[in-house]
Structure 1
Amino acid sequence: MPRPANTDRMDTRPIPDHGAWDAWQPAELALRLRSVSKPWCVVGGWALDLWHGEKTRDHEDLEFTVLRDDVAMFREALGDMDFYAVGSGVVSPLPADAAPPAGIAQIWCHDRAAGRWRVDMMIEEGTADRWVYKRDPSIALPRAEMIATTADGIPYLRPAGVLLFKAKYLRDKDEMDFAKALPKLAPSERDWLKAMLRKTHTGHAWQERL
């Protein structure tokens, strides 16, 4: 059985430059995960662009989510990567036989041959049938309602879910993503996002615009 990282030994691998990103595009990730039958989906800005059907801006990284119990299977599919746990601003090596600690929900995947970060694996706590918002587990829906798939088979989080995550930070790119998505959101998506903002971010600036 895998054991928690950094419990009884030190991993002395050097930490690559945090800024050394040359992220894959979603199609490359999907190709590498083609043998994995467990749930996963693209999230973040790229998820919105998959929904738009075009690239609307540059993306410095590529994020996708997996269920915690499935992490080892996805690590195996990305076997030419080195894996680093990310939490509280700290990046630390995750040994090959180690499961991410319970408090870790993010794993950066480093292409050792190219010396570049390729993808950001996010861990979610839902189930194969149920999507759970990690910042408030009381927000949960059938996975089929929250995940869509492109014509060429790439799964992605639907825009209302992506924007709920982005609402916390309101970075320039988040504001840009919201503005581009807003005219295309279905009435039901607007209503759901507005209700979730009311629940999680009282008085949020996006509420009036929805």
Structure 2
Amino acid sequence: MSEQLPGGGVELSPDEIEALPARWSSCWTPSEVAQRLAGSTTPWYVAAGWALDLFHGTQTRAHGDIEIAIPAAGFPEVRRRFPGYVFDAVGSGRIWNDATPEVLAAVHQTWLRDPATGNYLLDVFREPHDGDTWICRSDPGIRLPYSGIVRHTRDGIPYLAPELVLLFKAEHVRPKDQADFEATVPHMTSAQRETLAELLARVHPGHPWIAEL
């Protein structure tokens, strides 16, 4: 995806950024998202903090939003699954309401909004890929088949493998990311911990989590 952002959009003010959590207060649960995407031919999975809770099999903390990821080319199909809602594109502190294809091609993050309330319900990451091969945003040299990165709960909800969730969380390590790391690593297999350590060494050399793995 291009790093050159298109014109337009609205720069979010500090007050607007502070007010965003309230606009996410009615976001869906993983089960609600799965019901709406049932039968989709586009691969998708729950990402970020909710993915780790699906891995645990229980909710371990509160979540301010819910994120899923899809291959970028599958977005039109996913978009059709939500008639009556609009997708706003987000990037670099700006937001584009009911984003055009030009904007969607330039950013990867998309918020599903209920126009009746103004509330956000779902965050959709449109990921780089090569057919059925997932490409890591942090390092395009990391390429894995979707079948190798997606896990499923007992009731069939797809979620990103924990070692990859933690790889993305390692970029900034906010307090909740550190807490997620500490809560998740003891439940990972030795192979998963080894994979995470290898990926961290490649993407974030010298990262403090490596020594803890």
TM over 0.5: yes
Deviation per CA, 1:94-140: give whole Å up to 9, x if none. Answer: 34x63644321000111123331101000101145222211111011
* Amino acid across the alignment from 2:110: I
Contact 1:35 1:77 in 2 (8 A): no
Does residue 161 of structure 1 match 2:134? no
Q: Distance in 2 between matches of 1:78 and 1:35?
A: 14
Aligned residues: 201
Q: Distance in 1 between matches of 2:160 and 2:131?
A: 14
Cα RMSD over matched residues? 2.2
TM-score (norm 2): 0.87
Contact 1:197 1:207 in 2 (8 A): yes
Deviation per CA, 1:60-99: give whole Å up to 9, x if none. Answer: 000001111111111110122111110111111134x636
What runs of 5+ residues in structure 2 fail to find an aligned partner? 11-15
Q: Which residue of 2 aligns with 1:25?
A: 29
Which one has a larger percent helix, Structure 1 or Structure 2? 2
- Report matched runs for 1:138-177 at 5 Å: 138-177=141-180
Runs ≥4 residues deviating over 6 A: none
Does residue 129 of structure 1 match 2:121? no
| Identity level (%) | 37
Q: Distance in 2 between matches of 1:116 and 1:141?
A: 34
TM-score (norm 1): 0.88
Contact 1:23 1:119 in 2 (8 A): yes
Q: Distance in 2 between matches of 1:135 and 1:100?
A: 21
Does residue 183 of structure 1 match 2:162? no
What runs of 5+ residues in structure 1 fail to find an aligned partner? none
Q: Distance in 2 between matches of 1:34 and 1:89?
A: 32
Q: Distance in 1 between matches of 2:62 and 2:42?
A: 29
Q: Which residue of 2 aligns with 1:201?
A: 204
Contact 2:71 2:134 in 1 (8 A): no
Out of 128-137 and 52-61, give the one that drifted further. Answer: 128-137
Query: The residue matched to 2:140 in structure 1 has which SS?
Result: coil
Out of 53-62 and 71-80, give the one that drifted further. Answer: 71-80
